[in-house]
Amino acid sequence: MSTGSSDTPHVALFDYGAGNLHSLAKGLEAGGGRVTITTDWDEALGLDALVLPGVGSFGAASQALAGHEARVREALAGGYPALGICLGMQLLLSESEEGEGGGVGLVPGRVRRLRARTVPQMGWNDVVARDMGDPVSGSLDGESVYYANSFVCEPDDPGVVTATSTVEGDTFAAALRTARSWGVQFHPEKSSTPGLALLRRFLHEVAS
């Protein structure tokens, strides 16, 4: 059962067991949310929303998901709000070139290696919005955000992509949406004002 309120959504920040989630938790709190870091899927799916962070590798993260893929996919497809960040966005798909294991499978498609000479992509890059009306990513058009990634999402349906970025001629999904689940390939918690604004908009959607 949710323990949040319409004014202060209570979100589950899932911990795959790799990395420091402190900055993302602080960003969500600054955006108006209450955060619980958890490794328990019952707890994660019992709050107001789920945040899948961008920490670790696909293979290791998929181990934390193993056995729960179907229930997470059904919850998200049914309208449970979620935000996947970097690796968390990639976990919304089924599989990745990065390693073995499966994702949630909410978004049909695959995760591929970035087609650039310099990998990983580290630093700021511009965003072009494809869906200006999207309540979370629509206002990112022309903003610069912070990336730290070697892999990108390639959905089967390009219609789920709400924003793109390009590096060395490789245009990829910067953001996507299906149902009430959003994914962003960049790190909003490291993206200054535009990133914190995105977290705030996501929390607003959770509360609405």
C-alpha–C-alpha distance, residues 8 and 33, integer Å:
5
Give how far Cα 184 sits from Cα of 54, 145, 154, 197, Å: 10, 10, 13, 13
Residue 153 annotated among the catalytic residues of the structure: no
Closest C-alpha among 171, 137, 140, 177 to residue 157: 177
Residue 189 annotated among the catalytic residues of the structure: yes
Residue 10 annotated among the catalytic residues of the structure: no
Catalytic residue from among 98, 143, 153, 187:
187
Cis? peptide before 120, omega within 30° of 0: yes
Catalytic residue from among 69, 98, 143, 189:
189
Amino acid in position 3: T
Matching residue, tokens 């604004």: 197
Cis? peptide before 81, omega within 30° of 0: no
C-alpha–C-alpha distance, residues 39 and 61, integer Å:
11
SS3 196: helix
Closest C-alpha among 52, 139, 35 to residue 93: 52
Catalytic residue from among 86, 98, 143, 153:
86
Q: Which residues are catalytic?
A: 86, 187, 189
